[in-house]
Chains A and B, each alone.
Chain A
Amino acid sequence: MAFDLTIKIGGEGGEGVISAGDFLTESAARAGYYVVNFKSFPAEIKGGYAQSTIRVSNKKLYTTGDGFDILCCFNGEAYEFNRKHLRPGTVLVYDSSDFEPEEHEGVVMYPVPLSHLAKDIMKAYITKNVIALGVLCGLFDIPVQSIKDSIKAKFLRKGQEIIELNYKALETGINYVRENIKKLDGYLFPPAKEPKDVVIMEGNQAIAKGAVVAGCKFYAAYPITPATTVGNYIVEDLIRVGGWLYQAEDEIASLGMALGASFAGVKAMTATSGPGLCLMTEFISYAGMTELPIVIVDVQRVGPATGMPTKHEQGDLYHAIYSGHGEIPRAVLAPTNVEESFYLTVEAFNLAEKYQIPVIVLTDASLSLRAEAFPTPKVKDIKVINRWVYNAEDDPEGKFRRAGRFLRYALFTEDGITPMGVPGDPNAIHAITGLERQENSDPRNRPDIRTWQMDKRFKKMEKLLREDAEKFYEMDAPFEKADIGIISWGLTASATKEAVERLRSKGRKINALYPKLLWPLRVDILENFAKSCRRIIMPESNYSGQLATVLRAETRIRPISYCIYRGEPFIPREIEEFIEYVLENSYIEEGKFTPANLYGEKAYGLI
């Protein structure tokens, strides 16, 4: 039986909304279901509206879906925020000691005096969230034992007393349902399955773990929402593998430090968000020019300027691809979910080390906070590439040395890649400089040398396209001639996948392509895909359709852009409806559309 349920919990920040969601997520994974969790909290430190959305299923999940089936409101504010999404068939569980909602047609309502139970029965207001979990268990048959296990694991350090208190809160919720509520809806968890071997990570945590697996030993941090947690997650792991995290004085310094560490022979990275990436720009150029391997994670937030720090947007693609003075070889990778955040971070290090280039990983605010359960990565099966360090014994003819000097920027290799000298080695002493230079690093302005060195640097990109690019194109094109081809990237790709599944089940002929490597581009793969589709649609969460614009410049593809820029990611239904719209309107060949074209002016705030 297909089982797919989305529960949304809303309430006051600090009331345990987020941790209730985390308990549900962990216990769902423990009970063998697929689970995706998305949390959002206010920018304020305390108070304000917080919510956690948990989708549980027995089939693979891409997103938290279009909305919710069950809404659990800890207070009236949560109800006000979500009331417009209470459709027939949804369920509302609410704190009846706090507020009384209106009637909603076709909505099943379960009043539960959560605050009263917490204050007067449990005599501990902080147990409100666990009482609510008990209520949900009682109503929907959520496996109680796995919730208990999660409670136990979380409070193990705080002692048996706290564990017992929370068990009792859970029972209080379950008993309340048993004694007072008649079930009127049809939502039920099926019996728990054999637990799978999974991990649960948040997006930024997956980046941190990926970096450590790739062999990162130095991380320079400057706090910025929503990138800060990459550092929070990596700091102790790094120490445990003999590395170090340094909190720099600003982002310019962070990238400078990471590049210093890289020069010294150590794999290094930094993570930031848009404003920080802007500050790093000069050093990104420098990294490309000096050919230092480096990984820079940009957790995109809404810009420009300070924008909306906690909100989702895919607005930094131009910056990632084109930023910097002059032209440098670089790679840009974008994961579409948490699992990929892990594996693509490893790939980012591999590309950086193999090609001696800066690699930018683009994620975003929503992906950074999303938690997902995915199969436990097996570290020994993951391929890690280390840099080519000069070893005089491998160079008996001394090709890489001339007149006693190490040729860091030698021009004779076929692919433009030359070994790196690491301090401490007397045979590879050299300088690096942002100035154009000869093979031996000596600065030179000569036209011929300039041309040769530019060609050398960009030859590396040709090799990257030849040897590594293909695997970053996830092709889902079952139709020889599809009516619509979708190209989407980042978190939007996840919503697209779900939309495509639904449309195909309705008989629509849709092909899809999900590129994870956004620069450099395999024009042949992109154009061949486009040839298999009558029209190309590109949904993106930005104003101008950034990847679409890049493809218009670099390929013969003329896509139809669908852009939202409200600070929230796409939900699958929106993409589905836009595709239907394009199918109905055969005159649409290219151009840019927004939800206003479909739904009229008042089209924002669909979630």
Chain B
Amino acid sequence: MLEVHLKPADYKSDVEPTWCSGCGDFGVVAALTRAYSELGLKPENIVSVSGIGCSSRLPLFVKNYSVHSLHGRAIPVAVGIKLARPDLTVIVETGDGDLFSIGAGHNPHAARRNIDITVICMDNQVYGLTKNQVSPTSREGLYGSLTPYGSIDRPVNPIATMLSYGATFVAQTYAGNLKHMTEVIKQAIQHKGFSFVNVISPCPTFNKVDTFQYYKGKVKDINEQGHDPSDYRKALELAFHDLDHYHDPNAPVPIGVFYKAELETYEDRMQSVKRRYKQVEDVQELIDMCKPKAL
């Protein structure tokens, strides 16, 4: 049911993005505002939360309630908002460094508790804002200002990681495909529970390897190829092939919904706990409990 009829442009704020031209993140704003429009969400009922990074500036460019928080800390802030106000649509926009490096302690817990927020990671496989360092998702051998010898770290696999944490919606999409992005983000927002969307969003300024050109022929829609997102084992298996292209120039890069399950959310469980307790009419009762017990 649509709450309002607004055009994608109506969801753009008048703060001009500060991104480099050609940055994949522009596409994410476009997809996100389209998704809002197509879902008919009221801007006042959405809260966008981010950390710090190029990608994390996104909430400032969108017309909704926005929290531009601290490096790596978007998820805790989002969780606080959602638990305080389960009626709101809460979306986290973050970067691969923000989410999987400094903020890596937070996603497992929001995911396993199935808190109903949507996390969109703009994965450019590099640190952009601090000007070219390798990130947890950088491929081996990538040069950065702190790794002039080429990265010697193995990358994390965002999809497999989030699946194993217990996220109930896990998808990947690509900044070069507005239609696909919009569709996946829409599904993620509609999903009741913790949703994770990895957006391959190239940084033309610093990552000269993982570019639009590089991805163009490689991305393949797993759902079009018949993947059923309710199959967790299959999803994991596909996820393990997510990074194959780092070693095999012919390997495809899977995009689409890997996994989706309708499970009780944290908020549902919270409500059922609350129902077990008698609500107090007057806080005085709680103070009077501390009197020496009346007999």
Interface residues of A (CB under 8 A from B): 26-27, 29-30, 149-150, 152-154, 156, 195, 197-201, 205, 209, 212-213, 217-218, 220, 236-237, 239-242, 244, 246, 248-250, 252-254, 256-266, 268, 282-283, 286, 376-380, 403, 405, 421, 423-426, 428-435, 441-443
Contact = CB atoms under 8 A, between A and B. Distances in A.
Closest 4 CB pairs of A and B: A260-B80, A153-B293, A256-B76, A257-B80
Given A237-B286, A268-B84, A434-B68, A252 B273 contact: no
Contacts of B67: 260, 263, 431-433
Given A152-B295, A153-B293, A259 B68 contact: no
Given A241-B280, A266-B85, A423-B65, 6 more contacts: A244-B270, A250-B105, A283-B70, A286-B70, A430-B65, A432-B68
Contacts of B45: 423-424
Contacts of A201: 290
Contact of B77 (A153, A200, A259): A259
Contacts of A431: 13, 15, 59-60, 65-68
Contacts of B42: 426
B283 A241 contact: yes
Contacts of B85: 264-266, 423-424
Interface in B65-112: 65-70, 73, 75-85, 87-88, 105-106, 108-109
B291 A199 contact: yes
Contacts of B262: none
Contact of B84 (A27, A156, A261): A261
B290 A264 contact: no
Nearest to B63: A429
A408 B279 CA distance: 35
B292 A26 contact: yes
A198 B292 contact: yes
B287 A264 contact: no
A286 B69 contact: yes
Given A244-B270, A379-B282, A379-B287, A257 B47 contact: no
Contacts of A149: 292-293, 295
B66 A240 contact: no
B248 interface: no
B283 A246 contact: no
B58 to A, nearest CB: 11
B44 interface: yes
Given A237-B286, A434-B70, A257 B43 contact: no
Contacts of B83: 218, 244, 246, 257, 261
A248 B266 CA distance: 13
B49 interface: yes
Contacts of B284: 378-380
Contacts of B109: 248-249, 253
Nearest to B270: A244
B14 interface: yes
Given A199-B287, A199-B290, A423-B45, A261 B80 contact: yes
Contacts of A246: 79-80, 83
22 contacts: A149-B295, A153-B292, A209-B290, A212-B286, A220-B80, A246-B80, A248-B76, A249-B109, A252-B73, A260-B49, A260-B67, A264-B47, A268-B84, A377-B287, A379-B284, A423-B44, A423-B47, A429-B43, A429-B64, A431-B65, A433-B66, A442-B15
A198 B291 contact: yes
A34 to B, nearest CB: 13
Most buried by A among B47, B66, B67, B79: B67
B76 A282 contact: no
Contacts of A29: 292
B277 interface: yes
A266 B84 contact: yes
A174 to B, nearest CB: 20
Contacts of B64: 429
Contacts of B84: 217-218, 260-261, 264-266, 268
Nearest to B294: A153
B77 A257 contact: yes
Nearest to A435: B68
A347 B182 CA distance: 48
Given A29-B292, A153-B293, A425 B79 contact: no
B44 to A, nearest CB: 4
B273 to A, nearest CB: 7
Contact of B287 (A213, A252, A424): A213
Contacts of B68: 431-435
A249 B43 contact: no
A260 B59 contact: no
A150 B293 contact: yes
A432 B88 CA distance: 17
A117 to B, nearest CB: 27
B80 A423 contact: no
A27 B295 CA distance: 13
Contact of A429 (B44, B69, B278): B44
Contacts of B290: 199-201, 205, 209
A424 B88 contact: yes
B279 A242 contact: yes
B288 interface: yes
A199 B290 CA distance: 5
Contact of B79 (A260, A378, A403): A260
A25 to B, nearest CB: 9
Contacts of A379: 282-284, 287
A434 B43 contact: no
Given A423-B88, A424-B88, A150 B292 contact: yes
A252 B65 contact: no
A252 B80 contact: no
A172 B139 CA distance: 77
Most buried by B among A218, A261, A378: A261
A498 B78 CA distance: 48
B105 A256 contact: no
B1 to A, nearest CB: 18
Contacts of A252: 73, 76
A256 B126 CA distance: 25
B247 interface: no
Contacts of B75: 253
Nearest to A384: B283
Contacts of A421: 65
A239 B274 contact: yes
Interface string B44-59: 1101010000000001
A265 B43 CA distance: 17
A522 B279 CA distance: 42
Nearest to B287: A377
A378 B287 CA distance: 9
Contacts of A209: 286-287, 290
Given A199-B287, A199-B290, A200-B292, A259 B44 contact: no
